[in-house]
Amino acid sequence: MKFSTLIFALTTAVSAPTVSAFGVTSSSSFAPKTTLQMSSDSLEHGSNPPTIITEDSDEAVPATPAFRYGSRSVSRDASSKLPLGIKLHGGEKLHSEGLTGKGVKVAVIDSGVAAGHPGFGDQVVKQTWLRRGGSLMQDDHGTHVAGTIHMMAPEAEIYDYRVFGPRGMDINEAINTSIDEAIEEGCDIINMSLGGPVPDWNMYRAIRKANRAGALVIVAAGNGGDDNILTNENSYPANFSQCVNIGAVAKKDNLPRAWFTNTNDKVDYCGIGVDVVSFRPDGTFQEMSGTSMATPHVCGFITALMTKGGAYSDIIKDDRSCRALLNDKFVIDVAAEGKDNATGLGFLTYLTKDEFEKDFLDLPDFE
């Protein structure tokens, strides 16, 4: 393995044969509108260039499908109010109570983050790229994911691990290396909006190591759903028991499950994953849909709860204690009553059910 500080161009991110990132096409037509302008160098690399880890033996572009299928650009000023998805998970209330993620380290294992996006400020503190090549404007998935985490927990430190791109080490190996690096860096929580149908047992061991180190691992359930809750669609690493498995719901009354979300008995919770507004690498904003988008809402929510010195920082010590807290205080049951295969135990939010219904949407009543 060779370490280099050279800057490589980035290209459209692609998935490994068994691992991809979970974004789906927005159904809305659009005309892109630019609201902010920055140089491509500052947007892609921030003030410091990423550390590039290369494998000279793996220079070929993997023959795999693109991991992200579409998005919709939206006109939005960086100083405008928080997107609805952030509000539905209680972002405003969290911030008003000082739960902003301060002192918490978040690993984003994805397609790379445009650290220079003005929305991030200086919160992307380190970038380690294990795959390279191309443009972050095409590999915009990671920036969108990290943007949602940042808007949920604006004072958390983001550690960017790039594992998608046309060149570099094997993608599964890149993911496993990133998990190990995140543990070494002392990351408290890891977001992985990626996965595939075949389990990688080296990845299982890396996640188990993170779990034992006390790091929380939040993973997208997958976009292989067929809109039939009676069928099972499985994805890894989400289905490993050490991961918090997140399905997707829409911003509508009763928070209906997204048609594309995987359904199986390993799904733990759900988050907003349809028409999610977050950062675009050129400094603007865009909508994307997928369990990829639901997962950072939940990751950011938990990150905010973990704020050092906050009300819950001494309670969340590991995966077990985190789940116990979430189940006791922050789950609203949606879809079928009780745990179900689409939304797990329910929707995670800092809002009470009364606050949710008063200001936003109706929720189901179970007798």
**Do 52 and 5 form a contact (C-beta atoms < 8 A)?**
yes
Q: How many domains does the chain have?
A: 1
Residue 364 placed within a domain? no
Q: What is the pLDDT of residue 34?
A: 25
Query: Which region among 44-53, 73-82, 223-232, 321-330 has the lowest average model confidence (pLDDT)?
Result: 73-82
From CA 129, how far away is CA 2, in angstroms rounded?
12
From CA 148, how far away is CA 157, in angstroms rounded?
13
Q: Give the residue numbers annotated as catalytic, written as ranges.
A: 110, 141, 292
Query: Which region among 41-50, 106-115, 298-307, 336-345 has the lowest average model confidence (pLDDT)?
Result: 41-50
Residue 289 placed within a domain? yes
- Residue 325's φ and ψ, nearest 5 degrees, are -65, -45
**Do 11 and 112 form a contact (C-beta atoms < 8 A)?**
no
- CB pairs under 8 A, 24+ apart, for 96-100? 97/311, 98/307, 98/310, 99/153, 99/304, 99/305, 99/307, 99/310, 99/311, 99/312, 99/350, 100/153, 100/154, 100/155, 100/156, 100/304, 100/307
| 156-183 tens-digit pLDDT | 999 999 999 888 999 999 999 999 999 9
Query: Which region among 45-49, 254-258, 266-270, 325-329 has the lowest average model confidence (pLDDT)?
Result: 45-49
- Residue 172's φ and ψ, nearest 5 degrees, are -60, -40
- For every residue of 280-322, DSSP letters joined together read -TTSSEEEEBSHHHHHHHHHHHHHHHT-TTSTTTTT--SHHHH
Instruction: Write out the E strands in 111-239.
Output: 124-129, 131-132, 157-162, 167-168, 189-192, 194-195, 216-220
From CA 99, how far away is CA 67, in angstroms rounded?
33
Residue 309 placed within a domain? yes
| Of 243 and 4, more confident | 243
From CA 324, how far away is CA 328, in angstroms rounded?
6
Nearest to 221 by CA among 162, 269, 149, 274: 269
Looking at the chain, the whole-number percentage of residues with pLDDT higher than 90 is 73
Residue 4 has pLDDT above 90, yes or no: no
| 267-309 tens-digit pLDDT | 999 999 999 999 999 999 999 999 999 999 999 999 999 999 9
From CA 183, how far away is CA 242, in angstroms rounded?
15
- The owner of tokens 């988050």 is 271
Nearest to 167 by CA among 214, 197, 132: 132
Residue 367 placed within a domain? no
* Structural domain span for residue 164: 2-27+36-359
CATH number of the domain encompassing residue 47: 3.40.50.200
| 39-91 tens-digit pLDDT | 344 455 555 889 888 664 444 333 222 234 346 777 655 445 899 999 999 99
Average pLDDT over residues 152-158: 98
Residue 339 placed within a domain? yes
pLDDT band for position 18 (cuts 50, 70, 90): low
Residue 255 placed within a domain? yes
Q: What is the largest CA-CA distance in the chain?
A: 61
Residue 366 placed within a domain? no
